[in-house]
Each structure stands twice: as structure tokens, then as C-alpha cells.
């Protein structure tokens, strides 16, 4: 029962929180990526992942972190996005990381195009008092890529050993 609650709350809750905070503040708190990584180490043994499986997940997450920070160094994603990507890969493992990367890129591209189009339109004056909306509408601000990463993570989460262990 507790295991099922953890499986259904930690990862999905962290993804929802990451998307919401990135949308409203254009940042993803470090503590969110840390909580997501910590949650993995609590839940992984409960679903039957052994030390070798956990080690493989860790190695893939470190590789994902290196890749994401390369993207960050080019200015293509933010630092919070890079950390969220790695923490998400820790949960997903080798079977679903490729799909996660593809979905994340597709959702991120669609989000970018949508924001570029929306930023070309004038913002109605009644909405200019909303600081988060003004920030999101500004062409000088990046894209809240955490939304795309969260959507992609939630889409592939159902294929992980965590969801497979529900009810078992």
C-alpha cells in the first residue's frame, strides 16, 4: 500500500511541480531535482530493483547530466532543466530514456514554436499586471522547457518498473 502511494505520488508530483514552477517563475528549484533523486533511492528497492539496476540507473542519469549540461553551456536549456532531465532519467532507466528524449525534444520544439507565435501577438492590457505572464510573454526570456520535460516524463513513466510494480 505505501509502495503504491509512493509510486503514484513522488515522480508524478515532482513532474507536475516542475512544470508549474517553470511556467510561473521560469525556474526549477534545485531542491525539486534533489527530492526527485532522493525519492528514487527510497522507492527503487521497494519495487525490486537490485544494486546493479540502481547502478545502471545512476550511470545513465550521470550521462544525462553531462549531456544536459553540454546543452546548457550552449545556452539551449537552463540549468534547472538540465538537473530535472538527469533526475528524471534516474527514474526512467534504459528502456524509456530514448523515448523520453524524443518526446522531450518534440514537446519542447512545439512549446517553443507556440511561445514564439504568442510573443508576436500583443498582450491585452488587462493582463499586463500579471508579472509571470509578462515574463512569459517577453521575447528576452527563454522557454520554460521544464514543461516539456515533465510532459515527456509523465508520458513514459507508465512503461517503467515502478508502474509495473503497482499492486504487486
Instruction: Output the pLDDT for position 30.
Output: 96
Q: Are 150 and 15 in contact (CB under 8 A)?
A: yes
Q: What is the pLDDT along the chain (168 residues), one digit of tens a residue?
A: 889 999 999 999 999 999 999 999 999 999 999 999 999 999 999 999 999 999 999 999 999 999 999 999 998 889 999 999 999 999 998 999 999 999 999 999 999 999 999 999 998 888 888 889 899 999 888 899 999 999 999 999 999 999 999 876
Residue 167 has a pLDDT of 73
For residue 150, what pLDDT is reported?
Answer: 98
Per-residue pLDDT at 110? 97
pLDDT at residue 168, as a whole number: 61
State the burial class of residue 132 (Cβ atoms within 10 Å of its Cβ: 0-12, 13-18, 19+).
exposed
State the pLDDT at residue 1.
81
> What's the pTM value of the predicted model, to 2 decimals?
0.93
Amino acid at each position: 500500500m505505501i509502495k503504491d502511494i509512493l509510486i503514484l505520488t513522488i515522480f508524478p508530483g515532482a513532474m507536475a511541480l516542475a512544470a508549474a514552477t517553470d511556467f510561473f517563475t521560469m525556474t526549477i528549484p534545485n531542491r525539486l531535482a534533489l527530492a526527485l533523486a532522493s525519492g528514487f533511492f527510497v522507492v527503487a528497492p521497494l519495487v525490486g530493483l537490485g544494486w546493479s539496476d540502481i547502478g545502471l540507473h545512476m550511470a545513465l542519469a550521470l550521462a544525462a547530466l553531462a549531456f544536459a549540461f553540454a546543452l546548457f553551456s550552449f545556452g539551449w536549456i537552463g540549468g534547472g532543466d538540465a538537473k530535472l532531465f538527469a533526475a528524471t532519467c534516474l527514474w526512467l532507466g534504459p528502456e524509456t530514456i530514448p523515448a523520453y528524449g524524443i518526446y522531450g525534444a518534440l514537446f519542447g520544439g512545439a512549446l517553443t514554436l507556440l511561445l514564439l507565435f504568442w510573443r508576436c501577438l500583443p498582450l491585452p492590457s488587462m493582463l499586463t499586471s500579471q508579472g509571470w505572464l509578462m515574463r512569459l510573454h517577453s521575447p528576452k526570456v527563454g522557454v520554460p522547457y521544464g514543461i516539456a520535460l515533465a510532459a515527456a516524463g509523465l508520458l513514459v513513466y507508465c512503461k517503467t518498473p515502478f508502474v509495473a510494480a503497482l499492486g504487486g
